[in-house]
Structure 1
Amino acid sequence: MSTAVDYEQAGELKIGQVGIANLRVRTLDVARLVEEMQGRVQRAPKLFSRAAVVLDFGGLAQTPDLTTARALIDGLRGAGVLPVALAYGTSETERLAEQLDLPLLSKFRAQYERADGDAPTAPPAAPPAPAAEAASRPGPAAPAAAASPGLIQSNPVRSGQQVYADNRDLTVLTSVGAGAEVIADGSVHIYGPLRGRALAGAQGNEKARIFCREFHAELVAIAGHYKVLEDIPKDLRGKAVQAWLEDGQLNIAALD
């Protein structure tokens, strides 16, 4: 008698967009980094307490040694966050991740290659055709550019949900609830109350903006620059606002 084989997986693995904070270390001062993180957790515990954090050593001239890296990880855990990985960087970073028994997140690979390598050069322009030839030869008709409306979310984004617009804008026609998250590589437009988190320019686009009709956001961020509700003037709460970057500073102002 044959026995039936159960091919159903015990666990289903999916790779998707996750909200993980990236701590880019600019000064390797463990005590100062821990103190700064404690301040963030105290100001916005709902956002940062036990938050997953990726350590990014790409801003340093030299990768930390194992003892210093472990001290930093222990200090950050004591401050209330959970370091879960290192950001992709150099071969030294890869070895350090192995020693710490932490994964590398390769999503930062392209950013490092743009920062450390030469900027890609544009292909050489084709030589101009002689005037007589160019005049007699009709040029090809330029294709009409199809304007993309971006991703449109018509239903409310509820607590615990996340909506991500990959390489485009995101428009939410209703509300974003507390504990919900909306992310776009372009700009974010919200035509109802924003009580959760809104992140624009997720891949580093500093020209992206956030527009909101009724502002109660837990957090807003553009290209990694963020502000939490506690950092925002109270007179903007409940108002229609826009957020944008200027000279590396995140600005929020009421819409006229």
Structure 2
Amino acid sequence: MANLDYEQAGELKIGQVGIANLRVRTLDVAQLVREMHERVERAPRLFGRAAVIIDFGGLARTPDADTARALLEGLREAGVLPVALAYGTRETEQLSEQLGLPLLAKFRAQYEPVEAAPPRPRAPEPAPAPAPAPPPAAPARPGLMQKTPVRSGQQLYAENRDLTVLSTVGAGAEVIADGSIHVYGALRGRALAGARGDTAARIFCHEFNAELVAIAGHYQVMEDIPRDLRGKPVQIWLEQEQLKFAALP
């Protein structure tokens, strides 16, 4: 097994629909390619020919086109398929045009700096008016319940709510929720909770044999999970940006 105790140049997170987002923290092409090659070797069914979004938002400067091309080519040789750049700055937009890759605009709000508006002359303050009544609270959206098995190749997504699966999640299947995930059977595929960044989300299952689990983008594959938990009822949560696992009573 590869030694990952050193400071990694790239932090890999799993996104909302199972696409990996590689946030580059250190622009060391050789190390980034080596790390990705190790990931593919350790979990080829998960990462082999996986779609990857490249995110340069963690760097002080956007790389030049030649360096970015070298990284893209190295990642392809490592076994993954770079498909887009994460929107970061106007320089990133220019780079995407040079590379012929699309931008994912959903990252714009997270990284694009907001330009301050010029100050406006202050108008005379009006007399205070009675405070309006608060609007009625929106009813809580019920969780999504799946009564039948989620089979290999299927993907189930619970948007803005929890997901409960009353049966099994088969190998090669993927269940995703913006909230928590509850599986009242065997979990053999992938489970991604907190898909929009909810770090308080959890994963519960009655029989734990997952290929991959993730909460708010922080993931682990089966090879990295303690063997004594396999096949048992398990809960998974995020603590200080690390996944924690515990057997359920």
TM-score, with normalisation over the residues of structure 2?
0.83
In structure 2, the CA distance between the partners of 1:117 and 1:202, relative to structure 1 (3 Å rule), is: farther
Give matches, 1:139-150, under 5 Å: 146-150=139-143
Structure 1 letter corresponding to 2:196:
Q
Deviation at 1:154, TM superposition (A): 1.2
Task: From 208, 222, 236, give the equivalent of 2:229.
Answer: 236
Indicate how the Cα distance of structure 1 residues 88 and 145 shifts in structure 2: closer, same or farther if over 3 A, else same. Answer: closer
Q: Which residue of 2 aligns with 1:90?
A: 89
Alpha-carbon distance in 1 for matches of 2:135, 2:53: 45
**Matches of 2:28 and 2:102, distance apart in 1:** 23
**Residue identity opposite 1:59 in structure 2:** G
- The residue number in structure 2 matching 1:48 is 47
- Aligned counterpart in structure 2 of residue 179 of structure 1, from 172, 182, 185: 172
The one-letter code matched in structure 2 to 1:33 is: L
- Please state if 1:168 is matched with 2:171: no
**Residue type at the aligned position of 1:58:** G
1:88 shift after superposition:
1.0
Structure 1 counterpart of 2:220, from 220, 227, 237: 227
How do 1:44-123 and structure 2 match up within 5 A? 44-113=43-112, 116=113
* Alpha-carbon spacing, 1:242–1:97, altered in 2? closer, same or farther (3 Å): same
Residues 110, 156 of structure 1: alpha-carbon distance in 2 compared, 3 angstrom cutoff: farther
Unaligned runs of 5+ in 2: 1-15, 116-127
Report the Cα distance in structure 2 between the residues aligned to 1:215 and 1:209, rounded to whole angstroms.
Answer: 14
Deviation of the 1:142 alpha carbon: 9.0
Aligned residue number for residue 22 of structure 2:
23
Aligned to 1:195: 188
Partner Cα distance (2:180, 2:109) in 1: 21
Post-superposition shift, 1:253?
Answer: 1.3
The 2-side partners of 1:104 and 1:85 are apart by: 6
Deviations 1:128-184 (A, max 9, x none): 98xxxxxxxxx9799576343311111111111101111111111111110000011
**How many Å separate the matches in 1 of 2:134 and 2:91?**
52
Q: Percent identity at matched positions?
A: 74
Considering Cα pairs closer than 8 Å and 6+ residues apart, tell me whether 1 or 2 has the greater RCO: 2
Kept in 1, the 8 Å contact 2:17–2:176? The answer is no
The one of 153, 156, 166 equivalent to 2:146 is 153
Task: String of CA shifts for 1:75-113, please: whole Å, max 9, x gaps.
Answer: 101111010110111111111000000111122223325
Matched residue count: 222
Give the distance between the partners of 2:63 and 2:103, measured in 1 at CA. Answer: 15
1:212 corresponds to: 205
Secondary structure in 2 matching 1:211: strand
Change in Cα spacing, 1:153 to 1:77, as seen in structure 2 (3 Å) is same
Query: For 2:238, which of 216, 228, 245 is the aligned residue?
Result: 245
